[in-house]
Amino acid sequence: MTTNSLLSIPGLQTPKLKALPPLSLYIHIPWCLKKCPYCDFNSHEIRSPSGKIPEEAYVTALVRDLESALSDVWGRRLSSIFFGGGTPSLLSAGAIDTILTAVRTLLPVEHFAEITLEANPGTFEAQKFADFRQAGINRLSIGIQSFNAKHLQALGRVHDDQHAHQAVKIAQANFDNINLDLMYALPGQTLKEAQQDIETACAQAVNHISAYHLTIEPNTLFHRFPPQLPDDEHAAAMQDMIEQVTAHHQYRNYETSAFARPGKESRHNVNYWLFGDYLGIGAGAHSKISFADSIVRRMRYKQPREYLAKSQANASTIQTQQILTPADRSFEFMMNALRLTGGFDTSLFSERTGLPISAIQHQLNEAEERGLLVHDRVRIKPTILGKRFLNDLLHIFLPENNSPGDALQSSIPT
């Protein structure tokens, strides 16, 4: 049975959810000091004569955005909040406090909810980050990318290696839950240099490390002027080395690019991977919201000026909306959950999609025959081979009427 044939199964035209999944809040801050040449996120270099962002107007728009979305999530409790970007640490601590106060006023928030702020070296000031903690931020994610000055320059970063170390020092003085973002397979990077980066990150003894393979994305400067990157063989060797080094330092590789100390996995990101719900507010933010009889994806207007103009005119800030078909639900669940090293409970597929596991039995059997995953009545998880060839594994579950690129692009939140 193909994924498209889900539509012909009696009773699956409008599959019902017995319970709603956990809910997270994503808040997008779209400005950066400088647009990096590899970045395809919805981020915009600050170009105002003052060099400042329209903070007050944007915070007002975010609160209005949240208020307008309340009817979709009324009474639901937030398990995590994530300020992403862009560079959210460009905001003042006062702005963060105003936003979080509004969130807590409008929605119930779990007592020990994870509240993450992304921050880039070059925006670090000791008092400012102490104030972020006071405002309610309890997890910091730092965009280090590399501790090597040469590679930071090649990546177009505004900080150098000294800024990177100083950022970690300031963060550790104020936060006990920290993630460091690194990238590997960088222009001109050797295996030894990649190892120095990951060893340096592990030596900081933070709770969480993310290590992403640099890829050339459309609509980036690197796509127009491609740098010389390590070949696939060297990149794979770097990935193997990173997994070995992090394991030696007691980090568990719980997701394709994520490594955590026991119990310190990113709760916000795990909710994504397990097809949980997230409300996204801010320019270009994506949402996935479940209802009893539908699952809806929405995207806000991407350009900050347009987003602000819509908000100030009391018009809807939602630019696009998609109601997921049964085939979409099936693929998107698998696309996300198979990123987790430990896989997922078999029963979760039905709980989050409203579909019986038999709806993808043919694809599960094919993936197992090819040695890409293992499954039984209790658990489904990728094999080592499946982790290495994740795109091939996901392709098995891809709806026939979509291209892999289109499906992946439309399903991954910013």
The 3-state DSSP class for residue 397 equals coil
What pTM did the predictor assign?
A: 0.92
Statement to judge: residues 252 and 106 lie in one domain: yes
State how far the Cα of 11 lies from the Cα of 89, in Å rounded to an integer.
Answer: 48
Statement to judge: residues 215 and 280 lie in one domain: no
Q: 355 with 15: CB under 8 angstroms?
A: yes
Statement to judge: residues 217 and 72 lie in one domain: yes
- Residue 17 is assigned to a structural domain of this protein: no
State how far the Cα of 238 lies from the Cα of 235, in Å rounded to an integer.
Answer: 5
Report the b/e string of 237-246 with b at 16+ CB within 10 A: ebbebbbebb
- Among 41, 63, 73, smallest CA distance to 277 is for 73
- Among 36, 414, 17, 13, smallest CA distance to 223 is for 36
- Helix, strand, coil percentages (3-state) for the chain, rounded to 5, are 40, 20, 35
- Among 161, 170, 230, 174, smallest CA distance to 200 is for 161
Statement to judge: residues 111 and 50 lie in one domain: yes
The CA R_g of the chain, rounded to the nearest whole Å, is: 21
Q: Which long-range contacts (CB under 8 A, 24 or more apart) does 49-58 make?
A: 53/90, 53/91, 54/304, 54/308, 55/91, 55/92, 55/95, 56/95, 57/308, 57/312, 58/29, 58/282, 58/304, 58/308
- Residue 237 is assigned to a structural domain of this protein: yes
Write down the pLDDT at residue 414.
35
Statement to judge: residues 244 and 309 lie in one domain: no
Write down the pLDDT at residue 9.
44
- Among 227, 142, 147, smallest CA distance to 188 is for 227
- Residue 123 is assigned to a structural domain of this protein: yes
- Residue 245 is assigned to a structural domain of this protein: yes
Write down the pLDDT at residue 407.
41
* Residue reference for tokens 């939140």: 413
How many separate domains does the chain show?
A: 2
- The residue count of the chain comes to 414
Statement to judge: residues 339 and 389 lie in one domain: yes
pLDDT per residue rounded down to tens, the chain (414 residues): 344 444 444 444 678 999 999 999 999 999 999 999 999 999 999 988 788 999 999 999 999 999 999 999 999 999 999 999 999 999 999 999 999 999 999 999 999 999 999 999 988 888 999 999 999 999 999 999 999 999 999 999 999 999 999 999 999 999 999 999 999 999 999 999 999 999 999 999 999 999 999 999 999 999 999 999 999 999 999 999 999 999 999 999 999 999 999 999 999 999 999 999 999 999 999 999 999 999 999 999 999 999 999 999 999 999 999 999 999 999 999 999 999 999 999 999 999 999 999 999 999 999 999 999 999 889 999 999 999 999 999 999 998 745 444 444 433 433
Write down the pLDDT at residue 376.
87
The 3-state DSSP class for residue 346 equals helix
Residue 340: DSSP 8-state: B
Statement to judge: residues 166 and 211 lie in one domain: yes
- Give 253's contacts (C-beta < 8 A, 6+ positions apart): 243, 246, 247, 259, 341
70: domain CATH number is 3.20.20.70
Statement to judge: residues 293 and 243 lie in one domain: no
Q: How far is CA 17 from CA 291, 354, 356, in A?
A: 7, 5, 11
- Residue 300 is assigned to a structural domain of this protein: yes
**Per-residue pLDDT tens over the stretch 236-262:** 999 999 999 999 999 999 999 999 999
Q: How far is CA 214 from CA 163, 184, 203, 241, 314, in A?
A: 21, 6, 23, 16, 40
Write down the pLDDT at residue 50.
81
Statement to judge: residues 107 and 232 lie in one domain: yes
State how far the Cα of 289 lies from the Cα of 321, in Å rounded to an integer.
Answer: 11
Write down the pLDDT at residue 13.
60
Statement to judge: residues 133 and 254 lie in one domain: yes
Q: Of 229, 249, 272, at which residue does a domain stop?
A: 272
Q: Of 226, 251, 272, at which residue does a domain stop?
A: 272
Statement to judge: residues 340 and 235 lie in one domain: no
- Residue 150 is assigned to a structural domain of this protein: yes
Q: 192 with 179: CB under 8 angstroms?
A: no
Q: What region does 180 belong to: left with phi over 0, alpha with psi -120 to 50, or beta?
A: beta
Strand pairing class (277-281; 23-29): parallel
296: domain CATH number is 1.10.10.920
Statement to judge: residues 101 and 177 lie in one domain: yes
Q: Of 272, 301, 320, at which residue does a domain stop?
A: 272
- Residue 18 is assigned to a structural domain of this protein: no
Q: How far is CA 380 from CA 346, 360, 373, in A?
A: 6, 12, 7
Which structural domain, as residue segments, surrounds residue 349? 3-12+274-411
- Give 406's contacts (C-beta < 8 A, 6+ positions apart): none
State how far the Cα of 146 lies from the Cα of 198, in Å rounded to an integer.
Answer: 9
- Residue 119 is assigned to a structural domain of this protein: yes
